[in-house]
Amino acid sequence: MHKVWYDLGIPPEACAIIGKEAQLIGPVENPDPDDPLTELEEADAAFIGAVFPAREKATYERARKLKTLTRLGIGYDSVDVQLATDHGVCVLNTPDAPTESTAELAFGFILDLARNITNSDKTMKAGEWPKVKKQRGFELVGKTLGLVGLGRIGGRVAEMARVFGMRVVAYDPFVNEERARQMGVELLKDLTELYPLSDYVSLHLPSLPETNGMINKETLARMKEGSFLVNVARGALVVEADLLEALQSGHVAGAALDVWAEEPTPPDNPLRFLENVIATPHIAGVTLEMMLKSITVATRDMLMILRGEHPPNLLNPEVWEKRRRD
């Protein structure tokens, strides 16, 4: 039976899907604090999260039986795809699985920022009955949501926002005007137009050299006074020191951050303690439904590779002719 190594929590319902086809091994099943990768040497495949050392040469040299590596979810910036290719390892992801879960969290953040839900809860638990003025919020109807990225997740957030009566504008050079019009979204030709128009700016794009650090002192200054920032995409998109300054000055009224420049983010990161920041530990895809969808697709694609069939979500097709085989 094929052996699948994994290093993240997989609910029993998802384990059952894999268990029909393969044996699960790894630190979740057999923890070894001295060497969490101890069983990787026996694995035919690996299902991994963000902390797996997929950018280290030693990992691939150690795991000589490894034929396929699946980064559950859409983002795979934690994997050195070229390095995996050089070692004959097929790299996969599950791009459709996190759409609904991530979009729901993003829009939940927008609602929370608008109505001070998290802060109201904190003050009530502290025994206070906060004055209405301190907790005064905003209605979303008529407000403008600016989406940086209009792919799977951004498009779903746009759909939710329109139900709440929001105006939705977006910047995405890979989406044409007809597609945006079908979604009820105003497509902007220049990203700089989006910031001063938006009451809420929500990020939905990958971590790339050209996108990392895009939310910085300059772009934050362009944002509308009193607007809000939501990031459920990648922490590297935001220069955290610049965001901290914008939040402390009040120019940016609040932010909701599920992703961080360094994960786990340091315990003393000052963004964690600001009252106008909602901070969560990268939970956008942490739902049962997302995991079931991811595992179903990952298992299907893994088995296709092990049978010698070309899977639909292969991120390094150039590896195919030189891939590892039994």
Nearest to 192 by CA among 162, 166, 216: 216
For residue 6, give Cα distances in angstroms to 14, 52, 141: 12, 9, 44
263 catalytic residue (yes or no): yes
Active-site pick, 263, 275, 289, 318: 263
DSSP 314: B
In whole angstroms, what is the distance from residue 197 CA to residue 214 CA?
17
282 catalytic residue (yes or no): yes
DSSP 265: P
Active-site pick, 156, 282, 323, 324: 282
Q: Could you tell me which residues are beta bridge partners of residue 170?
A: 147, 187
CB 307 within 8 A of CB 326: no
> Cβ contacts of residue 316 below 8 Å, gap of 6+?
81, 82, 84, 85, 90, 91
Residue found by looking up tokens 């797996």 in the block: 52
DSSP 238: B
Q: Is the preceding omega at residue 31 within 30 degrees of 0, hence cis?
A: no
In whole angstroms, what is the distance from residue 40 CA to residue 38 CA?
6
Active-site pick, 87, 167, 234, 324: 234
Enzyme catalytic residues: 234, 263, 282
